[in-house]
Structure 1
């Protein structure tokens, strides 16, 4: 039987391709494992122990995967940060997670430096990756562990890519060769929106498992989509690796012997070209990307050989039915949809099922439970809408530092994301809306309270409401409605001033696309905002 897991495959087949980086250069299993070992030794030498956390502010690159596997084998919590965030937002995550090490790319140098300073992170805990990279450039054309080790020496001599940060290549460079001591399985610490607009870390107990053993849940999860170990699959990653599902698909692919092709910036035509070039068999997209693929001119859409594709998996946001139909017409029955939660549990629907149950997001995974409950926690019958509750196994997660959020999300051993939906008589889930105010734009979750809190701090704003309105490509776009302060003229100059102010405090993807004005926002006598009254005007 073929070996499973990064380190086992590296031992048996060190020259086997593991990662194709965005430049097109290949890193083999031996080199990736050697880099993960070296960084793991360095983290141990830094004093990090099982249960500590590291934060990654990195684009799609081989270095991110090497650091990920280094942390995974040393029992650390891995926090992959959205690199669209601004300095104070990253600083909050550094502090909230208790990060003991911070890895940043020079592309985000100013944000990284500001965040590290604000969080009070010591210089020895800061590591930088240069634009030229370390592993891809050092391992190009080379194979085995020696290639990965040789890459570090040259990169270390080049100096840090971010002032005040150490070169990544220096991590573990002076430690004896071999695996790090005290190897034990780490895991992700995933940040999701909090009740106050601040993100909250979803933190599960560590298993204490051997990092060489691939979890059975990983094999089971890929099996849901018809993906099996060493079955000739090639994964294409076009979305940022800070997304939970995206990182899971890449790392599990590598663990199961599927090489991963990374894109730095997703482009529809470039994606099709890579599918043909590398004979890609599976990928993970969001509906926005489907829309952009369908918008390509006919000659570009039909130029490439896509016959290798076996599973085009999509989730993260509702997919318009017409978009789904057109993708099925174009690519055939390889389009698979799922609905899942960072916290655990979900549903899947294959192409033939979707055509019978159009609009559904599928039935529960094996071992997953989906129920529809009313506001009192009572289970509702088929066809009746209510809050969607999920469970996967024991659902033993907690929101880091927010027991109240954890409590409110639960009914018994079930939890909810605040989505409203119903189950039909065959057990298929249909989603209606979100009870919470979460906006999903381009597959990314945005919490309006955070935006409202920043805009409300501007002296020319008396009141503000932020919500999502339909957008044909992004699913939703962010709309702000502002009540100007007394004596302030609601004109284009004010809009530009407010957006400029927001840009200094919020990531670009959180910025309102448009701002409208009202002399008074609808609130009840107790001050509760009737946001739905505003939203319906734009539907």
Structure 2
């Protein structure tokens, strides 16, 4: 977990982003601790909610950890939502504070304290108390909202362990369940406000990985970073894969052999696209399916998918998957 890694490998890079920010694990733990205590000192209660309106940057993951340490719930808000939808989420989640990009701050309701990244954010950290949080203190987490495709976005607040040490242990265990085991570099390609992208990256961070955070996805730049920085793990969605496959031959002529695993989900993938990706990268694709409410509940590796093209895999431990009819009765296979 970040607490242990900060003590054992204090100078190991934790966060590197496209804005030039580089944070070691020792710095991450100190900054997150100060930030967590500063939020509490500003009046955010334990169990309260703070929001983010941001594109990908290192500060998002600082806030992720700060919230967990301080017993606060982090609510990432998609900056592409309409202003009325942002206001709805902020009100529905009862946000005490919002951290925002300068360009997105105007979306925040006027009556909610909004801290912009840069000087206001850094001042908050500088003034924060560096006293470590007790490991038996209440834990926080992230509180995700659905995309709102069938109505208003819906808040999904899942049950978590009561104590911080148990919550951090869950992050590590969940990471190992999906091969986010902390070695080397994890490339963050998609928007970190997305529960899967940010969540899997945070699992890997908790196990010791360095997060290399792309501001926005670019297919050619993704391949360049994998080669240059010897990326071990990343998360992609099918549209990203299509863009990568459509690159010209010279752009695709990169050494991608450092990759151990490519997680993918969030949308169905055409079998032809998946087969092309496996032919290109090797049998390192792992597909998952899940929901905001339940988390990941099926998973399939490349070998099983090649043996059963189109499958979404088997239930992960702790889950049972079945279909029901309109009355709630369980249907047999094939129905």
**Equivalent residues of 1:235, 1:260 under 8 A apart:** yes
Whether contact under 8 Å (2:33, 2:129) holds in the other structure is: no
1:13 maps to 9
In the aligned structure 2, how far is the partner of 1:206 from the partner of 1:356?
37
User: Which of 183, 188, 195 is the aligned partner of 2:142?
Assistant: 188
Say whether 1:79 aligns with 2:75: yes
Using a 3 Å threshold, how does the CA distance of structure 1 residues 103 and 226 change in structure 2: closer, same or farther? closer
Q: In the alignment, is residue 127 of structure 1 matched against residue 77 of structure 2?
A: no
1:209 corresponds, among 155, 163, 173, to 163
Paired residue secondary structure (2:255): coil
Higher RCO (C-alpha 8 Å, min separation 6): 2
Instruction: Identify if the C-alpha distance between structure 1 residues 300 and 196 changes in structure 2 by more than 3 Å, giving closer, same or farther.
Output: closer
| CA positional deviation for 1:222 | 3.0
Gaps of 5+ in 1: 131-154, 156-166, 385-539
Q: SS state of the match for residue 369, structure 1?
A: coil
Query: Which is higher, the Rg of structure 1 or of structure 2?
Result: 1
Residue 202 of structure 1 and its aligned partner are, at CA, apart by 0.6
Aligned length: 333
- Secondary structure in 2 aligned to 1:18? strand
* 2:174 counterpart of 1:221: yes
User: Retained in 2: the 8 A contact 1:6–1:212?
Assistant: no
1:293 pairs with 2:244: yes
Q: Contact 1:44–1:180 (CA<8 Å) still a contact in 2?
A: no
Task: Give distance in 2, aligned partners of 1:243 and 1:326.
Answer: 26
Q: Which runs of 4+ in 1 moved over 6 A?
A: none
Distance in 1 (CA, whole Å) between partners of 2:121 and 2:166 is 24
Question: Contact 2:50 / 2:75 at 8 angstroms: preserved in 1?
Answer: yes
Q: Which residue of 2 aligns with 1:366?
A: 317
Structure 2 unaligned segments of length 5 or more: list them: none
Q: Select which of 97, 101, 104 maps to 1:105.
A: 101
Root-mean-square deviation (CA, aligned residues, Å) is 1.9
Task: Tell me if 1:357 matches 2:283.
Answer: no
The answer to whether the Cα contact below 8 Å between 2:2 and 2:205 also exists between their aligned partners in 1 is yes
Q: Is the 8 A contact 2:35 2:128 kept in 1?
A: no
- 1:474-515 CA deviation, whole Å, 9 max, x = no partner? xxxxxxxxxxxxxxxxxxxxxxxxxxxxxxxxxxxxxxxxxx
3-state SS of the aligned residue for 2:14? strand
Partners of 2:17 and 2:58 within 8 A in 1: yes
Does the 8 A contact of 1:269 with 1:293 survive in 2? yes
1:8-157 mapped onto 2 (5 Å cutoff): 8-111=4-107, 115-117=108-110, 120-121=111-112, 125-130=113-118, 155=119
Q: Does 1:170 align with 2:107?
A: no
**Are the counterparts in 1 of residues 197 and 235 from structure 2 also a CA contact under 8 Å?**
yes
Q: Tell me the CA shift for residue 7 of structure 1.
A: 1.8
Q: TM-score, normalised by structure 1?
A: 0.59
Judge conservation of contact 1:43–1:172 (CA < 8 Å) in 2: no
Q: Secondary structure at the match of 1:235?
A: strand
Instruction: Give the corresponding residue for 1:343.
Output: 293
In the alignment, the residues of structure 2 paired with residue 240 and residue 47 of structure 1 have an alpha-carbon distance, to the nearest angstrom, of 29
Q: Residue in 1 aligned with 2:262?
A: 312
Distance in 1 (alpha carbons) for counterparts of 2:258 and 2:176? 18
TM-score by length of 2: 0.93
How many angstroms apart in 1 are the aligned matches of 2:282 and 2:209? 23
